[in-house]
Amino acid sequence: MNVTIKKIAKVQMGYSFRSRLEVSKRGEVAVIQMKDLRDDNTVGCDGLTMIDMERVKEHHLVRKGELLFRSRGLVSNSAIVLEDPGRAIVAAPLLRIRITKSDRILPEYLNWYLSQREAQMFLTSRAIGSAQKMISKEVLEELELFLPSLEKQKKIVELASLSAREQALLVGLAEKRKLYISKILLRFANGE
């Protein structure tokens, strides 16, 4: 079954700060920014910027299991919040995706789907701007995705995770092999 994101989730623009963030060691509100989105499509919550912010509306707070989408830049993908970020808000230009139909879709599946070729082609074809590409909230909401059963979604996520782990191991192995061969060649060059 195909469904648009707006049928299963609420997309909200990140908080737009009027000026540069004023870091506060005693701040009670954390801010999730683009720099906190990791290469593995997860959100790193361990080094969030803390600020003083008097009024934070409940609907602005980020929850575990939500997705943050990069709406600007060369890469337009999402990252999932895997741990409780505490009292945290999302800074613009990130978009927050809060799943409203958890009985129909897993956040991990949506996170995976957003980086797939079909989704990327849709988003790229509707991006605005020439130097700095931007995906609007409305475009993201109109993205259509295939929605298999929750059981199939879970299997897809597990297999994708294993595949990513395999790729990381292969890259690590290739780097170690390159270093090993380099050391052998240096020994050979030195007459050993």
Percentage of the chain beyond pLDDT 90 is 62
Region of poorest pLDDT, from 73-87, 99-113, 144-158: 73-87
Domain-terminating residue out of 147, 164, 184: 147
Q: Are residues 109 and 130 in the same domain?
A: yes
Q: Are residues 186 and 127 in the same domain?
A: no
Closest alpha carbon to 98 in 60, 44, 127:
60
Q: Are residues 98 and 159 in the same domain?
A: no
pLDDT, average across residues 96-106: 93
Position 191 pLDDT exceeds 90 = no
Are the C-beta atoms of 85 and 64 separated by less than 8 Å? yes
Summarised one tens digit per residue, pLDDT across range 85-94 is 988 999 989 9
Q: Are residues 129 and 159 in the same domain?
A: no
Residues spanned by the domain of 103: 2-147
Q: Are residues 59 and 95 in the same domain?
A: yes
Q: Is 14 exposed, middle or buried (0-12, 13-18, 19+ CB in 10 A)?
A: buried
- Quick one: pLDDT at residue 17? 80
Distance CA 152, CA 109 (A): 10
Q: Are residues 23 and 94 in the same domain?
A: yes
Q: Are residues 138 and 169 in the same domain?
A: no
Q: Are residues 22 and 104 in the same domain?
A: yes
Q: Are residues 85 and 155 in the same domain?
A: no
Summarised one tens digit per residue, pLDDT across range 46-80 is 888 888 877 877 888 999 999 999 998 888 889 99
Q: What is the 3-state secondary structure (H, E, C) of 96-124?
A: EEEECCCCCCCHHHHHHHCCCHHHHHHHH
Q: Are residues 162 and 181 in the same domain?
A: yes
The edge-to-edge listing of strands for the beta sheet with 9-13 is 9-13, 94-99, 67-70, 78-80
Summarised one tens digit per residue, pLDDT across range 109-140 is 999 999 999 999 999 998 888 778 899 999 99
Percentage of the chain beyond pLDDT 70 is 99
Q: Are residues 63 and 153 in the same domain?
A: no
pTM of the model: 0.85
Which CATH number fits the domain that encloses residue 16? 3.90.220.20
Domain count, the chain: 2
Q: Are residues 190 and 120 in the same domain?
A: no
Query: Is residue 146 very low, low, confident or very high in pLDDT (cuts 50, 70, 90)?
Result: very high
Distance CA 143, CA 151 (A): 22
